[in-house]
Structure 1
Amino acid sequence: MIKYKQRRKFKYNLHSELTFETGISVKQPVANNFLEINASGRLTIKPGYAWDGPSSPAIDSKNFMQGSLIHDALYQLMREEVLPQSDRKRADEILKEVCVKDGMSAFRAWYVYYGVRFAGAKSAKTDLLSAP
C-alpha cells in the first residue's frame, strides 16, 4: 500500500516508502533523495517522490496508483540513463502485473499495457541535456 497526496504540477506526492523487486539488473546502483535501485533491481521509492499518475486518457483509480508510481520511477531511471531503453518492455510488464495484483481487471490491465507499449517510448527517452 502507498500513501500519496494530489499536487498541481505533478499530480501525486508519495508519503510512504515503497520497495519493489523489479528483476531488472543494474550495472551501476543508484541512490538519491527519492529513488534507489540496487544491482539486483530492488527499487526503493522514498517519501517526497512526485509523479503524474496514469497518463491520459487513462482514469486515475486506486488500482492504478501503485503501478503508475513504479512505472514512472522506472521510466525516470531510463530518462536518466541508469536503465537502458531495452528495459522499457519489462517496465511496462511490471505496470500491468502490479495493476492486476492491486485489483484492476485483466482486460483493463491489458489495455493499459498496450497503451504504454504503443505510446510510451518518447516518455522513456533520455532528457539529459549537455552544453559545452
Structure 2
Amino acid sequence: MNRACYRKLHRYKYQLMQDYEIETGLGGYSIETDYIALPPSGRMTIRQAYAWDGPSGPTIDTLTLMRGSLVHDALYQLLRLEALPSKEKAFADKLLRTICLEDGMNHLFARIVYLGVKWFGGSSSRPGTERPDMIICVPVDN
C-alpha cells in the first residue's frame, strides 16, 4: 500500500500563491533558501508556497499589514537561519513600517507596529528558534 506523507505546520496561517519580489534596499548579501532569495542587488524573491504566520502580537490581520508581515517574516527567517547578521533586525523592522505605510496603514498604527517588533521581536529573530515541521506518513508502518 502506498503511504501518504504530509507536513504538519507549526505556526503558519498563510501560504503565498505566486512568487513575490520586492526591492528591499538590503544589498550586499547572496542568500538562497528553498523559499527565499536575496541577491546582492537587494531585490528579494519570496517563492510560491512560502508559508508565514501573518501579523503577530496583539493585532489583527488587516490588509495593510499582510504584505509587510510577509516580507518581515521572510527576513526574520533569514535572521534565525543566520543567513543575515543580527544587526539587520533593525532594518527588517523599519522595512515592515515602510511597507505598511505604502499599503495605506495609519501613521500612528504603523508606529505602534514598528515599536512592537522593535521591542518584542527579538525572540522571533534569534538563531536556533526555527522549529522544524513534523513529517507524518500514513498508514503507519507496523
Q: Would the TM-score normalized by the shorter structure come out above 0.5? A: yes
Structure 2: distance between partners of 1:26 and 1:87: 12
1:13 to 15, 18, 24: 15
Structure 2: distance between partners of 1:127 and 1:26: 24
Between stretches 70-79 and 18-27, larger displacement belongs to: 18-27
Q: Which has the higher contact order (CA 8 A, sep 6+)?
A: 2
Identity %: 41
Q: 2:47 maps to what in 1?
A: 46
Q: 2:3 maps to what in 1?
A: none
* 1:8 to partner: Cα distance: 7.8
- Equivalent pairs, count: 122
RMSD of aligned residue pairs (Cα, Å): 1.8
Q: 1:3 maps to what in 2?
A: none
* 1:88 to partner: Cα distance: 0.7
5+ residue gaps, structure 1: 1-6
Runs (4+) off by over 6 Å: none
TM-score by length of 2: 0.80
Computing the radius of gyration from Cα coordinates, the structure with the larger value is 2
5+ residue gaps, structure 2: 1-8, 131-142
Structure 2: distance between partners of 1:16 and 1:8: 22
Q: 2:37 maps to what in 1?
A: 36
Q: Deviations over 1:73-118 (max 9, x none)?
A: 0000011111111011110010000001001101100000000001
TM-score by length of 1: 0.86
Equivalent position SS for 1:92: helix
Q: Deviations over 1:27-60 (max 9, x none)?
A: 4x12233110101222100110000000021110
Residue 106 (structure 2) pairs with residue 105 (structure 1): yes
